Structure 1
Amino acid sequence: MSSVKRKCFTIEEKSAILHRLEAGESNATLAKEFGVSHSTISTIKKSKDKIEPLFNAKVLKCKRVRTSTYEQVDKALLQWFKLQRDRGIPVNGPLLQEKANFFARQLDIQDFKCSMSWINRFKVRHNIVSGKIAGESLSVQQSDVIDWLEKVWPTLRAQFKDNEIFNADETGLFYKLTPDKTLKFKGEKCKGGKLSKERITVMVAANMSGTVKKKLLVIGKSQRPRCFKNVRHLPVDYESNRRAWMTAEIFTKWVRAWDRELTKKNKKILLLVDNCPAHPHIADLKRITLVFLPPNTTSVLQPMDQGIIRALKAHFRKNLVLKMIQLLDGCGSCSVEYPKMNVLDAILMIQDAWTQLKQGTIFNCFKHAGFVRSECNTVVTSNTEDFNEEDDVPLSVWARAIDKHQLTITNEDFEQFTCVDDAVATCEEPCDENIVENIIASDANSQESDGDDDEPEEVHPTLSVSDALKAAETLNVFVQTNFDDDIMKTMMSRIHNAVRSSYYRTKVCQKQTQITD
């Protein structure tokens, strides 16, 4: 018999073990420290996808989490409960019981009748403590922008350096939209239907000095788009739901993952966000100080809305138009179809736009919002100049290219094209009907096949290493013989060498080993 004792870990302990494994500690070291077998640690590692959501939901002390027989009612009631907590509304057992019966009727579950014992088990499953329900209230926030900047902001800023102060915000993006369709979409609200199937939501975050641009978070409609089939790594974080909207669950997961990353690096940050329904209060953060901006001040106080998101979209849509011009040049006429965009194309293009965004643009937007005091008290009124200065292909050049192909796109059309989806909703206003609809949609999404059933997307072919090497050699020759930029030449040489090394490593692995070897 084995001398190793059987031990049950809580969710909190399992999460701590996962963090240590991710930090590089070995399975053997942890097994010896906790007095368990190697297989126990391995099982915890394999269950990461189940443990992290429970930890994020603050289910910390449970050792065995039993799911509810009526899972849809359980999910709906939990969403409603969290919404009331964020609003500061006290909730007791009988109210939970009444609401559970309401959701069961809405979900057409006939054999459910909520008892207090079911509510007690619900509380245990989700680590709900009665004392916290009635005793906690929302913090009072200043509603006046000037008041907040003069009284609240100086205290916050004194605790952090400029490169430790971040702002994050979501924006909707109609990634399939071409300039000739802009007027059709202008001013429309994205609440479902066809529009929602052609949009993504992008979470953008950067620090005040502009030195750090956080990896983008993209939220799409499909859980597993067909265009992801042969893709090993994405340059962004990707989440999904039926509306391609930001939700409290996605936001919490994103913030906690960032908090763990900062814990490993022993860094701290201040994260400023607006107080929309999809941004809940998150407890127990170790390295992130989460601060909510005053209500109804997004258009004035949110740095991302002072020009950063606009510049990002301008780069994205400029790249889309340049792709159109490239297709027109290739066929020699204007009869070619506009590029067919899928989610992967949009991700690669928005990531390229994020890379192009310069430090000065970000800093100026924080300054414009009032977070940076100017010695001469000058106010930046627009960030159009910043975008034009960092633009690698000036507007005048690609406007002439469009004129060459006689496309009826004016400067006014370009302006509308850039900001057409600025007012698109990125999260829903929670209500009982929406909660029920989301539960049903979530279950349908988990059972659906890969990608969208009604709109199949192109699967990107898997490129061979040989093809990649040929392309890298061609591009390297072009850069070395046509550019006078030493940095660009060095970067191109590194890319060429990396692809070549990958090619020969692949050849070695493919070679069959003989007994004489």
Structure 2
Amino acid sequence: MEKGKNIKGAVLSGEAADVREEDVTSWKERLGDLCKGYDPKDIFNADETGLFFRTLPNRSLVVRTDSCKGGKQSKERITVFLAASAMGEKLKPLVIGKSANPRCFKGVNKTALGVQYEANKKAWMVSDLFRSWLKSLDRKFAAAGRNILMFIDNCLAHPTLDLEHVELVFLPPNTTSRLQPMDAGIIQAMKLRYRRRIVQHLLARIDQETPASELAKQVNVLDAIMWLTASWSEVQPTTIQKCFSHCGFAVEAPSSELDEPEFDELPAAESVLGDQTLPDYAAIDNELGTNETLSDDWENRIFQEARGEPDDHDDAVDASGDECDAEESTESTEVREVSGKEALSCISTLQQFTLQRGLSPMAMDVEKLGAFVNKLEAQRKEKLQQGTLDSWLQK
């Protein structure tokens, strides 16, 4: 399989640069040939986005500037790498944080998070991480007996790779705002839902004496991952299809507008958003850097990569799992391990709450959750009892 249908070079992704109309037209004319031999379900696009995971609406007027590349806000960020097909198939998100083992992960089974979690000191996408993700993706589609075409933007963090089941196509420089489906509304759709959850989180606690700024500090990476996973799952296949179609891909998509979350059931949302709109709030971190760009030593780094030498700029996270700088810690709370008894008590309380509010369908869902936890606890105790019996028999 070819390494790529467009030469990957040491260039900036250039999303903020001027887009040349002739480049856009030329690319769309070539797109049919580039996709030849692939069904829309096997044509994918992937891209990173920065996420200020605990930023409040009233701070957004400050962060939508060049300060997105540094300063206090950069200490409250993660990078999210999303991928989807032209037909709306969504891959598991890759989340890049600053700590390998955040305190909020204590006792948490990472495989149940719904994302792949990685870490480095800058919470950036780097070339080694991208290669690892691609190789894992190649194994996934090999097992499924599929060959896919992956469109990706052209940046230092996205090196070429020769794979059996994933063919890379690099977008022309400085055109992603016009030619990349992720930038055409897919990422925005996820962020709209994520910001909506922050607003819901604040509104649910608005009667507390704790200031909103303090409530925001209590949001940790685990909360962010849970909200992100739910938000990504809610992005509709039709939204993804429309974005691919808008970028020139041969996809039949509904002609209606992109779906956006509504606040009809949250009449107090205006008190949180103020004069902002939800789309403005969702876009506050769109200019946040997510990967390395050309620097003074870019030539040395290219030769270093060609020789197969390790990249010192990959910023490996501290092996201890703690943040490398205490001032950059984004974790204000530590999640303790919850016992089965405590979980069942909480489920019982939640079921009582749903019944009192007349939410009978939800009460049934809560009952199913309780039955599942009961089953887990019964299996755990059975193992403990069997272990005790085995020990007694061996004496």
Task: Give the TM interval when normalised to the shorter protein.
Answer: 0.7 to 0.9
Pairing 1:497–2:368 present = no
1:28-67 matches, within 5 Å, as: none
The residue aligned with 1:321 is 199
Secondary structure at 1:457 match in 2 = coil
CA distance in 2: counterparts of 1:457 and 1:408, whole angstroms: 23
CA contact (8 A) 2:32 2:249 kept: no
The structural deviation recorded for 1:290 is 1.1
| 2:194 counterpart letter in structure 1 | F
User: Distance in 1 between the 2:27 and 2:177 partners?
Assistant: 15
Tell whether the 8 Å contact from 1:179 to 1:413 is kept in structure 2 after alignment: no
AA of the residue aligned to 2:109: R
Does residue 509 in structure 1 map to residue 377 in structure 2? no
- For residue 340 of structure 2, what is the amino acid of its counterpart? V
SS at the partner of 1:87? coil
What's the counterpart of residue 179 of structure 1?
A: 57
Deviation at 1:440, TM superposition (A): 7.0
What is the CA distance between 1:494 and its match in structure 2?
Answer: 4.2
CA RMSD, Structure 1 to Structure 2 (Å)? 3.2
- Which residue in the other structure is 1:304 paired with? 182
Q: Distance in 2 between matches of 1:279 and 1:441?
A: 13
Superposition pairs for residues 67-466 of structure 1, below 5 Å?
87=9, 144-150=23-29, 152-210=30-88, 212-233=89-110, 234-283=113-162, 285-329=163-207, 331=208, 337-339=214-216, 340-372=218-250, 383=258, 386-387=259-260, 391=261, 394-398=262-266, 400-402=267-269, 407=271, 409-412=273-276, 414-433=278-297, 439=312, 442=315, 445-446=317-318, 450-451=322-323, 453-454=326-327, 455=329, 457-466=332-341
Amino acid at match of 1:304: M
Aligned CA distance change for structure 1 residues 442 and 396 (closer, same or farther; 3 Å): same
How far apart are residue 314 of structure 1 and its match? 0.8
Contact 2:99 2:318 in 1 (8 A): no
> Which structure has greater helix proportion?
1
Letter in 1 for 2:332: E
**Cα distance in 1 for residues equivalent to 2:221 and 2:212:** 25
Q: Which protein has greater RCO, CA pairs closer than 8 Å, 6+ apart?
A: 2
Q: Is the 8 A contact 1:224 1:451 kept in 2?
A: no
Distance 1:408 1:176 in 2: 14
Q: 1:425 & 1:506 partners in 2: Cα distance?
A: 45
TM-score normalised by structure 1 residue count: 0.62
8 Å CA contact 1:472–1:499 kept in 2: the answer is no
1:396 partner SS? coil
Instruction: Please state how far the C-alpha of 1:473 moved relative to its aligned partner.
Output: 4.2
Residue identity opposite 2:323 in structure 1? G
Q: C-alpha deviations, 1:252-291, integer Å up to 9, x for none?
A: 11011110111122222111111122111111x1111111
In 1, Cα distance between the equivalents of 2:9 and 2:211? 55
Q: Which moved more, 1:503-512 or 1:266-275?
A: 503-512
Contact 1:469-1:503 within 8 A present in 2 as well: no
1:147 Cα deviation after fit = 2.1
Amino acid at match of 2:196: K
Aligned CA distance change for structure 1 residues 462 and 228 (closer, same or farther; 3 Å): same
Call closer, same or farther: CA 1:349–1:332 in 2, change over 3 Å: same
Instruction: Say if 1:269 and 1:287, in contact at 8 Å, map to a contact too.
Output: yes
Report percent identity of matched pairs: 34
Q: CA deviation at 1:167?
A: 0.8
When normalised by structure 2's length, the TM-score is 0.80
SS of 2:81's equivalent in the other structure is strand
SS in 1 for 2:264: helix
Aligned partners of 1:189 and 1:425 also within 8 Å: no
Structure whose CA Rg is larger:
1
Equivalent residues of 2:53, 2:78 under 8 A apart: yes
Partner of 2:342: 467
Partners in 1 of 2:212 and 2:355 — Cα distance?
Answer: 35
Is the 1:196–1:244 contact (alpha carbons within 8 Å) kept by the matching residues of 2?
no
Residue 451 of structure 1 aligns with an amino acid whose one-letter code is: E
Task: Return the alpha-carbon distance in structure 2 between the equivalents of residues 251 and 441 of structure 1.
Answer: 11
Shift of 1:191: 3.2
Aligned to 1:125: none
Structure 2 unmatched ranges of 5 or more: 1-6, 12-20, 305-310
Q: Which moved more, 1:199-208 or 1:466-475?
A: 466-475
- For 1:418, the aligned partner's letter is A
Cα distance change of structure 1 residues 415 and 162 upon mapping to structure 2, 3 Å threshold: closer
1:281 and 1:421 mapped to 2: Cα distance?
A: 28
Q: 1:248 to 1:411 in 2, by over 3 A?
A: same
Partner Cα separation in structure 2 for residue 335 and residue 204 of structure 1: 30
Contact 1:182 1:413 in 2 (8 A): no
Cα deviation digits, residues 436-466 of structure 1 (max 9, x gap): 9x727836x3455523523353211111112
**Deviation string, structure 1 residues 467-508 (Cα, Å, up to 9, x no partner):** 2223334445666894576xx777555433321100111222
